Copies of this chain bind each other. A is one copy, B any other.
């Protein structure tokens, strides 16, 4: 699904978005740059500029705790589009394998809005990032502990 680019992206923007979608895990600006050198990109600022625009379009999120970026895997309902996913993105980030899932939870969203309202706070953006061990890595760790268990 993931909603095709709504407006026309420029060349650099398309390149960066494709690179982000290709890589399964969050990528830093310099990693993106390295991957796009053969496509003609030369300097960090080119990547940062594309990322800035992509974020503004809601196609990309920045993972603050990682200094990295991911392609959005939802429709957060920026326009009149039906079936928008309610609530802000909640990122679940594995500290071991870097696998990252983007979830949403309307209750968290509502709660946050309520909180902001109570504070008289004009909410612009929210960043919610959960860090820990993903299911796969948890299983693998348990396995290893078993194997290496001191008897």
Let me know if A108 is at the binding interface, CB within 8 A: yes
Show the binding face of A for B, using Cβ within 8 Å. Answer: 64-65, 90, 92, 94-95, 101, 103, 105, 107-108, 111-112, 115-116, 119-135, 138
A83–chain B nearest beta-carbon distance, Å: 21
Please judge, given known A-B contacts A64-B127, A122-B138, whether A132 and B105 are in contact too, CB under 8 Å. no
Please judge, given known A-B contacts A107-B111, A111-B107, A111-B111, whether A101 and B119 are in contact too, CB under 8 Å. yes
How far does the alpha carbon of A11 sit from the alpha carbon of B94 in the complex, in Å? 34
Q: What's the number of copies of this chain in the assembled complex?
A: 2
Chain B residue nearest to A65 (CB atoms) is B64
* B residues less than 8 Å from A119 (CB atoms): 92, 101, 103, 134-135
